[in-house]
Structure 1
Amino acid sequence: MSIGEKIAALRKQNGYTLQKLQELTGISLSHLSAMENGVRPNPSFHYMERLAKVFHVPLTYFSDELHDPEVILVAERLQELYDKETREFLISESSRPYLALVKELARNQETRNPPEILEAIVQFLRKQAADKADT
């Protein structure tokens, strides 16, 4: 089941119209509709946080990889460790190569766990951005 299908199912189970869900989340009607219909298949982390709160479900509910303990751990750690901007980057399409790198490094370096490696990458990217801004 896609994220959009899960949103639509939860909305209907709770007896909400799109208009009511818009009022509860602050997400525009057109954006909610696009998410439900798969036009926007990868909503922002910020929107997913709002939806999870309104529906009283964990963020991991929307994941297709609920059986993967690593995914659950990463989702929980994201909320604990990172600011909104960093969390949104980490769940964006552009972060996929970095996340793949994290998994590969974790497999090859048993002394470090994925969240530690992810933190090292985040710090590296922040330093790169700061250096770029200084030039």
Structure 2
Amino acid sequence: MITKLNAIYQAGIPYDFECRQTIASIPGNVDELDLVRVIGIAFDNALEESQSLSEKNGHPEIQAMLYQETTDSLEFEIRNKIVPDKRQHTNLATKGFTTKTGHQGLGLANLQDIEQKYSELDISYNVSDGCFDLYLTIDQEEDE
């Protein structure tokens, strides 16, 4: 996350990151490399969209949060403004679908593949009010 936040900072994109407590462990059976991939893809998408918005004289902004109420749960959310002329797509996670020129459209499809590996992992996303919002939860208690 530090590398991704540094890339956002170096790009001059305004951002807010909140993590008010130490995250001691990843709950459940979720492989930490899968979690790193999910968070990395989320940050990369937010940065790329923010750079596109900036190029169109928009005002990009990224907000991210990591929260752990108990050792059995973990929440991650990232929200970024999007280019105003982008339409709300229902097929964002379809392999090969992309709104970006020159991309393969694998990011959100990869997230879906990772999500399917773990019953305690849930990834949702939404486009509304000019923003893209990705929300990840790991809740081991629900799996029991």
Please classify the TM superposition score into its range, dividing by the shorter chain length: under 0.3
User: What is the TM-score of this pair, normalised by structure 2?
Assistant: 0.26
Bigger Cα Rg: 1
Specify which structure has the higher proportion of strand. 2
